[in-house]
């Protein structure tokens, strides 16, 4: 609902299909709100530039063309920087790289600011020289005379060779230092060790020291100065290349078949941190999501204790268990204490303790679970989980059985 009459800007840009400038619906989603904010700021800047340079001389046209080509990405960052940096965890950006919550992420954030400052200074200098050259040496009178010819300057050529080399070396050294500081860290006695295995298109998590196996939702304890508890993650791939990336906790680290890799995090704040497989791995790469639950120590201990218990099965779901164990489900899935010992799909022993299914693609509700069993492609087109062609009665029984696995 708009709170004020449409302005001239609204009318002009509304007719051209741009974002209205007076306001936006309060019902729009978090991600849509951020996109609308970017469009809003850019449309305002674009409008001012167009009004300023409309019907201008060649000089002004040259300047505005250069401005559009070179400054678009910078303007988008600057226009939204206040909103992005104002809140440590803005509601529209759960993957905000400007709100690091772990030591590796803090190091990467500091490096990104340094790189942004250097490249921003280069942009300002180059753009200023461009404007100066266009303004000072524009053609005034065409008298037919050839302008003075300059055949080179040793000083200038040395300068524009040496200075870029020094800049590249400085950026390389800063990056190498951050990478070395992150990679040289070693597990302490209090560290949690996790093995993360990337599959098409889901995540498997194994805690060797805690005898816990789960899928898609990684649980780790908070690491505070009073009780530092970093989590060291060994990264493996079961099929193709993947990449583990939770922006607020650490940088991207690839999972490569037959080449173990590693990363580590020490989250300073409890909460849910989301991420994404950042390496294209197939049809459902976009829905291979990451969810990291950072919990206080006592809550994490309770979670570990619950995960080490056998599945709580209900005798009323025995029919569903029988169907589950007599179909191809057990070839892929495992349920502790039963005949299901598959390793190709997620461990389902404590399925209902998870908030999502299908690697974060859908909430773990009765309807979604039933649909996932009946037709996986309805939630994840291209999923490697086959539809089992169960009857409605069998489908209801298997769903009821899986809902007892807590």
Any idea which of 46-60, 235-249, 297-311 has the lowest mean pLDDT? 46-60
Confidence of residue 46 (pLDDT cuts 50, 70, 90): low
How far is CA 80 from each of CA 132, 184, 230, 312, rounded to the nearest angstrom? Answer: 28, 35, 33, 49
Q: Is the peptide bond before 201 cis (omega within 30 degrees of 0)?
A: yes
What domains can you pick out in the chain, each with its CATH number?
96-137+154-267 (2.60.40), 315-402 (2.60.40.420)
Considering only residues 122 and 96, tell me which one the structure prediction assigns the higher pLDDT.
122
Short-list 236, 238, 266, 267, CA closest to 254 = 236
Q: What pLDDT is recorded for position 42? A: 55
How far is CA 153 from each of CA 10, 149, 160, 165, 273, rounded to the nearest angstrom? Answer: 53, 12, 11, 19, 55
Q: What pLDDT is recorded for position 311? A: 78
Any idea which of 9-13, 84-88, 361-365 has the lowest mean pLDDT? 9-13
Q: Is the pLDDT of residue 251 over 70?
A: yes
Q: What pLDDT is recorded for position 249? A: 94
Q: How confident is the prediction for the chain on average, in pLDDT?
A: 80
pLDDT tens digits, one per residue of 157-168: 899 899 999 999
pLDDT tens digits, one per residue of 171-208: 999 999 999 999 999 998 899 999 999 999 999 999 99
Q: How far apart are CA 222 and CA 228, in angstroms?
A: 8
* Main-chain phi, psi angles of 144, to 5 degrees: 80, -5
Q: Is the pLDDT of residue 15 over 50?
A: no
Q: How far apart are CA 342 and CA 340, in angstroms?
A: 6
By DSSP bridging, strand 231-237 and strand 192-199 are parallel
Q: Is the pLDDT of residue 59 over 60?
A: no
Bridge partners of 363, per DSSP, are 356
């Amino acid at each position: 609902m708009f709170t004020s009459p449409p302005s001239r800007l609204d009318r002009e840009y509304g007719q051209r299909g741009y974002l209205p400038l007076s306001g936006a619906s309060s019902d729009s989603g978090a991600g849509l709100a951020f996109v609308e904010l970017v469009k809003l700021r850019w449309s305002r800047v674009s409008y001012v530039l167009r009004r300023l340079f409309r019907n201008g001389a060649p000089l002004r046209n040259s300047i505005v063309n250069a401005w559009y080509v070179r400054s678009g990405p910078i303007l988008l960052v600057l226009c939204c920087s206040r909103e992005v940096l104002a809140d440590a965890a803005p509601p529209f950006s759960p993957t905000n790289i400007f709100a690091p919550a772990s030591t590796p992420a803090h190091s990467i954030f500091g490096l990104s600011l340094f790189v942004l400052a250097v490249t921003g200074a280069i942009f300002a200098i180059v753009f200023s020289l461009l404007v100066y050259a266009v303004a000072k040496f524009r053609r005034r009178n065409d008298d037919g005379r050839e302008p003075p010819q300059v055949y080179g300057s040793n000083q200038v050529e040395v300068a524009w060779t040496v200075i870029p080399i020094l800049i590249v070396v400085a950026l390389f050294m800063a990056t190498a230092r951050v990478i070395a500081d992150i990679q040289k860290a070693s597990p302490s006695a209090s560290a949690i060790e996790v093995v993360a295995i990337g599959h098409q298109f889901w995540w498997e998590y194994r805690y060797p020291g805690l005898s816990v196996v789960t899928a898609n939702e990684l649980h780790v304890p908070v690491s505070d100065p009073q009780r530092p508890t970093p989590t060291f993650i060994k990264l493996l791939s079961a099929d193709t290349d993947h990449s583990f990336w939770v922006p607020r906790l650490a940088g991207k680290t690839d999972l490569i078949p037959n080449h173990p890799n590693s990363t580590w995090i020490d989250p300073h704040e409890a909460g849910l941190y989301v991420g994404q497989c950042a390496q294209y791995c197939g049809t459902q790469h976009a829905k291979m999501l990451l969810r990291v639950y950072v919990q206080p120590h006592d809550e994490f201990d309770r979670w570990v204790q619950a995960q080490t218990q056998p599945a709580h099965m209900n005798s009323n779901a025995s029919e569903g268990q029988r169907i589950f164990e007599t179909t191809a489900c057990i070839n892929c899935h495992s349920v502790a204490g039963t005949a299901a010992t598959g390793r190709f799909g997620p461990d389902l022993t404590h399925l209902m303790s998870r908030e999502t299914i299908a690697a974060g693609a859908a909430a773990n509700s009765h309807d979604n679970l039933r649909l996932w069993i009946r037709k996986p492609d309805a939630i994840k087109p291209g999923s490697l989980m086959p539809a089992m062609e169960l009857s409605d009665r069998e489908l209801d029984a298997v769903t009821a059985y899986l809902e007892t696995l807590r």
